[in-house]
């Protein structure tokens, strides 16, 4: 009997049941906990940035983690209901991974859902038991060899087990074989991801003859068609295995957007406005001109001018030394910009304007409109 191929938001496709981890990602309630950039594999399509690849560093979404409190802060900032533990390979720093799972479960409650990605399909039973006992809810394997002993063990331990594989054009038979093997092993689900290019993997993809679907997209031509073929094949040939195709559009326009929307409403400050159409914050900025710097004491001097000469309340502005800027209510800056420029004419390095920024920790700016 042929199963239904269901179309989800962002043109994703599903046969069977959507994994719990994916359900929470779609809602925007999954924090991405990057526990290390170390990895024993060398996938040619790995999109990891140079900032993270091969480096034993930690990020909670876009925030570089220095303390455990940073992880808890980001969890609260998005109203998190779970965490996707990634890398690199989290098993390359097992002690840290186990500690973070324990931290999240103890602080957020047992209902807080954790899933983990690893390429170590031959992982030993004692490691799997340590992860399960720490509270790991779901483990996703990206096999790099034919040795699936760890996957078989994880299933036997009663863990929720999935596969996570890219849709590489021309490799449909490999995906079919992996899906058949997964069903035979009793794996719960297979996630197929649309293949995407990044600054770090583009040269390798291009060398294999792979190309972008368009100049304004990161997705690889033929990846979507490969995945769609597998979904329809799975609907007719598999009985129990759930298969989900996650598109690049789904990740960007559904998962990421929902997470940013949640973070915005929880972190917006009194002097910021929300854009009407997108999850963007609008604020006024006073900062050094591009390519120039400003001493902290000069920033403090401007802050005091705003407070004393222009009577700007403390809660309508913020002095950000890390980003070397003063953040201020956009409606106030627009009103005082002309007079303020005269007051600051001796500081030729200053520019002021209205900025549009994502509410992520790194405050990625999409537009700066000078005043």
Give the neighbor-by-neighbor strand order of the sheet with 138-141.
6-7, 13-15, 242-246, 189-194, 160-167, 138-141, 113-118, 82-87, 30-36, 59-60, 63-64
Are 223 and 278 in the same domain?
A: no
Q: What percent of the chain has pLDDT over 90?
A: 94
Whether 345 is in a domain gets the answer yes
Domain with 295, as residue range(s), is: 271-370
Are 298 and 351 in the same domain?
A: yes
Q: What is the DSSP letter of 172?
A: H
| CATH code assigned at 202 | 3.20.20.70
Between 252 and 217, the more confident residue is 252
Are 262 and 275 in the same domain?
A: no
| Cβ-based neighbour number of residue 292 at 10 Å | 12
Whether 183 is in a domain gets the answer yes
Q: Kindly report the backbone phi and psi dihedral angles of residue 161, in degrees, each rounded to the nearest multiple of 5, phi listed first.
A: -125, 135
Contact 132, 124 (CB under 8 A): no
| Cβ-based neighbour number of residue 69 at 10 Å | 9
Q: What percent of the chain has pLDDT over 70?
A: 99
What pLDDT, on the 0 to 100 scale, is given for residue 346?
Answer: 77
Residue holding tokens 């956009």? Answer: 330
What is the maximal distance between C-alpha atoms in the chain?
A: 78
| CATH code assigned at 289 | 3.30.70
State pTM to two decimals.
Answer: 0.94
Is the pLDDT at 55 greater than 80? The verdict is: yes
Are 85 and 26 in the same domain?
A: yes
Whether 321 is in a domain gets the answer yes
Distance, CA of 191 to CA of 186 (rounded, Å) = 15
**Cα distance between the two ends of the chain:** 65
Contact 239, 183 (CB under 8 A): yes
Q: Kindly report the backbone phi and psi dihedral angles of residue 15, in degrees, each rounded to the nearest multiple of 5, phi listed first.
A: -120, 120
Is the pLDDT at 211 greater than 70? The verdict is: yes
Whether 138 is in a domain gets the answer yes
Q: Where among 266, 292, 315 does a domain terminate?
A: 266
Contact 31, 266 (CB under 8 A): no
Contact 110, 59 (CB under 8 A): no
| Cβ-based neighbour number of residue 313 at 10 Å | 12
The arithmetic mean of pLDDT across residues 61-65, rounded, is 97
Distance, CA of 37 to CA of 136 (rounded, Å) = 20
Are 30 and 151 in the same domain?
A: yes
Q: What is the dihedral of CA 359, 360, 363, 368, to 10 degrees?
A: -40
DSSP-derived 3-state class of residue 221: coil
Q: Where among 217, 245, 266 does a domain terminate?
A: 266
- Confidence band, pLDDT 50/70/90 cuts, at residue 216: confident
Contact 246, 255 (CB under 8 A): no
Contact 140, 84 (CB under 8 A): no
CA 97 vs CA 25, 83, 92, 102, 195: distances in Å: 20, 12, 9, 9, 27
Are 331 and 209 in the same domain?
A: no
pLDDT, tens digit, 9 for 90 and up, residues 87-127: 999 999 999 999 999 999 999 999 999 999 999 999 999 99
Helix or strand holding residue 36 (H, E): strand 30-36
Are 227 and 286 in the same domain?
A: no
Residue holding tokens 């690893």? Answer: 118
Domain count, the chain: 2
Are 275 and 256 in the same domain?
A: no
Are 239 and 285 in the same domain?
A: no
Are 161 and 236 in the same domain?
A: yes
pLDDT, tens digit, 9 for 90 and up, residues 347-371: 668 999 999 999 999 999 999 999 9
Q: Considering only CA atoms, which of 370, 329, 332, 330 is closest in space to residue 352?
A: 370
- Region of poorest pLDDT, from 125-129, 159-163, 260-264, 294-298: 294-298
The sign of the CA dihedral 192, 198, 200, 205 is positive
Contact 145, 121 (CB under 8 A): yes
**Please, is 39 exposed, middle or buried when counting C-beta atoms within 10 Å of its C-beta (0-12, 13-18, 19+)?**
buried
Q: Kindly report the backbone phi and psi dihedral angles of residue 34, in degrees, each rounded to the nearest multiple of 5, phi listed first.
A: -90, 105
Q: Where among 210, 239, 266 does a domain terminate?
A: 266
- Confidence band, pLDDT 50/70/90 cuts, at residue 43: very high
Helix or strand holding residue 56 (H, E): none
Contact 240, 183 (CB under 8 A): yes
Are 316 and 217 in the same domain?
A: no
The arithmetic mean of pLDDT across residues 192-203, rounded, is 94
Pairing of strands 281-288, 189-194: unpaired
């Amino acid at each position: 009997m042929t199963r239904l191929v269901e179309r989800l938001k962002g043109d994703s496709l599903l046969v069977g049941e959507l994994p719990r981890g994916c359900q929470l990602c779609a809602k925007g309630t999954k924090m991405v906990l990057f526990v290390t950039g170390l990895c024993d594999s060398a996938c040619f399509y790995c999109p990891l940035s140079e900032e993270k690849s091969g480096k034993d560093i930690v990020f909670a979404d876009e925030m570089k983690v220095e303390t455990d409190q940073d992880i808890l802060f980001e969890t609260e900032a998005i109203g998190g209901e779970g965490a996707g533990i990634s890398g690199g390979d989290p098993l390359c720093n097992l002690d840290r991974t186990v500690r973070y799972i324990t931290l999240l479960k103890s602080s957020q409650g047992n209902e807080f859902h954790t899933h983990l990605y690893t390429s170590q399909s031959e992982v030993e039973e004692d490691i799997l038991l340590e992860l399960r006992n720490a509270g790991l809810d779901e483990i996703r394997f990206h096999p790099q060899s034919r040795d699936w002993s760890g996957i078989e063990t994880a299933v036997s331990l009663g863990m929720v087990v999935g596969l996570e594989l890219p849709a590489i054009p021309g490799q449909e038979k490999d995906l079919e074989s992996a899906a058949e093997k997964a069903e035979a092993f009793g794996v719960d689900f297979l996630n197929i991801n649309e293949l995407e290019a990044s600054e770090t993997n583009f040269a390798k993809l291009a060398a294999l003859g792979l190309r972008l679907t368009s100049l304004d997209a990161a997705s690889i031509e033929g990846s979507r068609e490969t995945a769609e073929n597998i979904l329809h094949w799975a609907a007719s040939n598999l009985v129990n295995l759930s298969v989900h195709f996650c598109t690049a559009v789904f990740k960007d326009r559904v998962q990421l957007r929902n997470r940013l929307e949640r973070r915005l409403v929880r972190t917006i400050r009194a002097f910021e406005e929300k854009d009407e159409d997108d999850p963007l914050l609008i604020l006024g900025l006073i900062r050094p001109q591009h390519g120039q710097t400003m001493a902290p004491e000069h920033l403090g001097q401007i802050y005091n001018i705003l407070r004393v000469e222009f009577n700007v309340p403390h809660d309508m502005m913020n002095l950000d030394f890390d980003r070397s800027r003063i953040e201020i209510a956009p409606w106030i800056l627009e009103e005082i910009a002309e007079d303020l420029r005269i007051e600051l004419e001796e500081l030729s390095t200053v520019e002021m304007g209205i900025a549009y920024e994502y509410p992520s920790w790194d405050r990625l700016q999409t537009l700066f409109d000078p005043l």
